[in-house]
């Protein structure tokens, strides 16, 4: 596999398809595998470089699902898209990642940065797939209770540096890794904004950065509106302008258009 920065030029859009009843923004929308697959195909037509398929919600307060349940949700969707759509699997479980990689997924997106399943690092290493390591303080069930940092940008960067070292020690080449500050995962609105503002601290680790601000509740706190599209696009453009490479989004077309213009100006 070529280095991740060559496969995903800046900016690239990652479309999100959550095959869950309870995801915070698209929960229940894509439970029918045919509907989920059609949404993923549409995202690629609209300019997504990759589509992230998730079978477990990580919204604040969520408790997690069993391996069997997660496989039941994602495998029918992966089967329909295999060989047709560039796929990422949003999972922390080795067996779900393995099932996705067998069906042609090229990226494993682990919001726990290889901390939950001791077998996941080996599965990724053996496959040669790309890997996204994301920062989270606490766990989804409790992470928004009282997030605290002395210096959020430095702490997130040193956490991700450590997880990258762990991945490399397990045989995952550094050039296959991207890093994600984990917007909304154990962070206040001010923390999320500071992470984007000071993205240079994360970029100093030398890896491409992925940012997922799309439809997150901080945007609602800022605008007071339930329509989060404009706010999501603005956050993605702000992250791109500060150096993010991959933007993880639910509404692909408006993000692709906005990022195309922002990149033309840059």
Catalytic positions: 216, 248
Residues 100-129 as x/- pattern, contact with ligand HH2 by CB under 6 A: ---------x-x------------------
Within a 10 A sphere around the Cβ of 32, how many other Cβ atoms?
Answer: 12
* b/e per residue 174-204 (b: at least 16 CB within 10 A): eebbbbbbbbbbbbbeebbbbbbebbebbbe
Q: Which of 12, 58, 137, 232: binder of ligand HH2 (CB under 6 A)? A: 58
Beta bridge partners of 211: 247
Q: Which residue is nearest to ligand HH2 (CB)?
A: 212
Say whether the peptide bond before residue 11 is cis (omega within 30 degrees of 0). yes
Residues with Cβ within 8 Å of 65's Cβ and at least 6 positions away in sequence, in order, are: 55, 56, 73
**Contact flag: residue 217 with ligand HH2 (CB under 6 A):** no
SS3 category, 157: helix
**Contact flag: residue 173 with ligand HH2 (CB under 6 A):** no
Least distance (Å) from ligand HH2 to the CB of residue 14? 8
Residues between 2 and 31 that touch ligand HH2 (CB under 6 A): 16, 18, 20, 23-25
Within a 10 A sphere around the Cβ of 241, how many other Cβ atoms?
Answer: 16
Q: Which of 113, 132, 196, 247: binder of ligand HH2 (CB under 6 A)? A: 132
Binding site for ligand HH2 (CB under 6 A): 16, 18, 20, 23-25, 54, 57-59, 90, 109, 111, 132, 134, 180, 182-183, 210, 212, 248
């Amino acid at each position: 596999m070529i280095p991740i920065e060559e496969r995903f030029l800046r900016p690239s859009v990652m479309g999100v398809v959550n095959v869950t009843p309870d995801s915070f923004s698209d929960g229940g929308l894509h439970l029918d595998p045919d509907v989920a697959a059609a949404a993923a195909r549409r995202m690629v037509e609209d300019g997504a470089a990759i589509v992230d398929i998730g079978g477990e919600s990580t919204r604040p307060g969520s408790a997690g699902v069993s391996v069997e349940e997660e496989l039941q949700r994602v495998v029918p969707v992966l089967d329909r898209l295999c060989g047709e759509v560039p796929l990422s699997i949003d999972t922390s479980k080795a067996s779900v990642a393995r099932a996705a990689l067998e069906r042609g997924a090229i990226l494993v997106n682990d919001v726990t940065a290889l901390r939950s399943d001791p077998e996941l690092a080996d599965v990724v290493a053996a496959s040669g797939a790309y890997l996204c390591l994301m920062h989270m303080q606490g766990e989804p069930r409790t992470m928004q209770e009282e997030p605290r940092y002395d210096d959020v940008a430095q702490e997130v960067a040193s956490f991700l540096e450590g997880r990258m070292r762990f991945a490399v020690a397990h045989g995952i080449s550094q050039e296959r890794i991207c890093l994600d500050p984990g917007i909304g995962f154990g962070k206040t609105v001010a923390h999320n904004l500071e992470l984007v503002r000071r993205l240079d601290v994360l970029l100093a680790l030398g890896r491409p950065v992925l940012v997922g601000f799309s439809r997150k509740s901080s945007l609602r706190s800022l605008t007071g509106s339930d329509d989060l599209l404009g706010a999501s696009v603005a956050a993605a453009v702000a992250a791109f302008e500060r150096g993010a490479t991959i933007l993880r989004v639910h509404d692909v077309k408006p993000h692709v258009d906005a990022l195309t213009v922002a990149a033309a100006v840059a």
